[in-house]
Amino acid sequence: MKTSPRWRQSVVWLHVVSSVAWMSQALALVVLMSAGAPAMADRLDSVLLAPMANVSAFTGLLLAGATAWGYLRHWWVLTKFALTLIQLYAGIFLLSPALRESADTGAVAWPQVAGAALMASALAFQAWLSVAKPGRKTPWSPAAKPPTAPTWVFVAGIAAPAFDVTAGLLLGYPLPALELVTLGVLALERRRRHRRARRPSARSPRSAPAASSPGA
């Protein structure tokens, strides 16, 4: 099945834009917390940073799963995958609750500033990994290159974040619902593509028997 390069490039563009936004907003958190404005930092985190983090993580996971890069074929992709999961966990369960507490009390905790700075640094390192693509393939890299997903997967890579960000703004809190559903569907589609790639190719028709040699 053919894949539209335009839609794939659109998802790459969205991934780059959302990742830069996530990193710049993490730096803005450092500035706001250092300036003693925890309420503004909490507002920035909930309204802008969290949705951009979701979009960046979603598009990165989708591009890895929908293209030949895969999740486990290259060390630099696997490193980005691990760092993304760590940052999402730290942001949702550690940094965001701490920012809400600081907004309520008006007190600035320096571990929060350090956490936001570490997040921005990790995102900058991930950007370098995307450009340099260092390292070799992992031991879990399959011999055959995974096929690229069909166009509808990349269309969903644009539509799902647009829907979730809009819904989150209307509801007042991040809601990556359709993005999670899309990743689940992508996992099923990826398994189907692997199965198709492993199927033996159809045998070519047998050649006609060779003509008997002269004098036979």
Q: How many C-beta atoms lie closer than 10 Å to residue 173's C-beta?
A: 11
For 55-68, give one letter per residue: b (16+ CB within 10 A) or e. bbbbbbbbbbbbbe
Amino acid identity at 209? P
**CA gap 19, 85 in Å, rounded:** 14
- For residue 139, what pLDDT is reported? 92
Rounded average pLDDT over 173-189? 92
Tell me if the pTM is above 0.85: yes
Write the pLDDT tens digit of every residue in 25-78. Answer: 999 999 999 999 999 999 999 999 999 999 999 999 999 999 989 998 999 999
Q: What percent of the chain has pLDDT over 90?
A: 73
Write the pLDDT tens digit of every residue in 85-135. Answer: 999 999 999 999 999 999 999 988 888 999 999 999 999 999 999 999 998
